[in-house]
Amino acid sequence: MFKSAKNALAGIFITLFLSSSAFAAGQFDGVTLLVGTWGGLWKDNQVENIVSKFEAEGGKVEFVTGSPAANFAKIVAARGQAPFDVVEILAAQVKDYHELDVLHPLDLSLIPNTQHLPETHYNEWLVGSWETQEVICYHKDKFAEEGIPVPTTYRDLVHPKLAGRIQFPDINSGGGLPGLAGVTFAEGGNETNIEPGLNLVKEMNVLKFWARGGETMAQFESGDIIASVVHAGWCLRTKKLAGQNVTTVHPRINDELVGVSSEGWWGVMKNSKNVEAAQWYINQFISSDYQLKMATKTGLVPVNQSVFEAMAEDPLVAEMIVLDPEKVANQLRVDYSKVIIPDWTDQWNRAIAQ
């Protein structure tokens, strides 16, 4: 009898131990999630706000840093075997990812924060991550002092007092494709006819074609430029960090569209063994909390529109960034499925770079 009681007691202790161990186990115990994204501040924000939550679930995050172009090249070099589970993708790359057939279909029930995104910003393959609003950033004081009219269109940048005092994105920069698309559509062109846009860029008499958005802030600060075609976040940083009295204009494209938007996406790789964890990561990235922090630090526009109201509490953000969902929906978005990017680049090099 004593032996039976002793065995029973041991059984209880074992059960309690196993129960407590199971209770302590996290959702992603033993999982190492590989995330393809930019480095620097962009990665640091994710480390600070997402990685700690993943680690609390027993997992570990390792970053494969690089530009979206560099990370796509890694997939091509590995013959479709991506060196990460989940990766950031530019709008202009979506067609390439589909053609290479490297995306894993998503279970959107595991990414419930998509409920806060416009329906255009998620599908069975991709979930939106951020947007930029491509604008004309101009120096209010300089324009007023010199009697230069406030621009409302890209063509307004063709002005004798602006000659040699404008920046425009280089075709190979992050803003190059949406920038060229904006001037092209505004001049009556489209995805298959960019000649009108190239002609307008030549008329602008641009001082410098920027490769990195930070060049805008530096050249406003030095006084070399008084206007730049750049995304609104860089204009916001030029005001906040460099103390330059700049603001944005969202250029009129035609009678229906005002402003230009470009977006980024998250995709899960077909060869990933951590699909559930990758979808968890995407869900955290598009959460209201993370999207607001991201927007506050970078000036990018959240795809999670539930934070627009909180963003508008900052008067400078409200001045420079469109936060009305209907107006955001009414901005130009390029259909990159119709764009042959090497052809755009070749035409740019022949018309502008030389």
Same domain, 125 and 268: yes
Per-residue pLDDT at 353: 78
Residues in the chain: 354
**Is residue 25 included in any domain, yes or no?**
no
* Bridge partners of residue 132, in order along the sequence: 262
Radius of gyration of the chain (CA): 24
Per residue in 53-72, pLDDT tens? 999 999 999 999 999 999 99
Q: Which residues in the chain show pLDDT less than 70?
A: 1-25, 354
- Here the CATH number for the domain that contains residue 176 is 3.40.190.10
Nearest CA-CA partner of 205 in 161, 240, 236, 238: 161
141 and 102 in one domain?
Answer: no
pLDDT digits (tens, 9 = 90+) for 151-199: 999 999 999 999 999 999 999 998 999 999 999 999 999 999 999 999 9
Shared domain check, 298 and 242: no
Closest CA to 264 of 106, 93, 8, 148: 93
Question: Are residues 206 and 162 part of one domain?
Answer: yes
Query: Residue-wise over 177-212: b if at least 16 C-beta within 10 A, else e?
Result: bbbbbbbbbbbebebeebeebbebbeebebbbbbee
- Whether 13 maps to a domain, the answer reads no
Number of domains the chain contains: 2
- On whether the CB atoms of residues 230 and 169 are closer than 8 A, the answer is yes
Can you give the pLDDT at residue 299?
A: 86
Residues 147 and 62 in one domain: no
One domain for residues 75 and 101: yes
Q: Are 352 and 179 in contact (CB under 8 A)?
A: no
Kindly state whether residues 125 and 138 are assigned to the same domain: no
Domain annotation covers residue 147: yes
Enumerate residues 6+ apart whose C-beta is below 8 A from 220: 137, 139, 226, 228, 238, 242, 244, 246
Range of the domain at 196: 134-260+333-353
Q: Are residue 200 and residue 270 in the same domain, yes or no? A: no
Residue 10 within any structural domain of the chain? no
What does the alpha-carbon distance between residue 149 and residue 152 come to, in Å, rounded to a whole number? 9
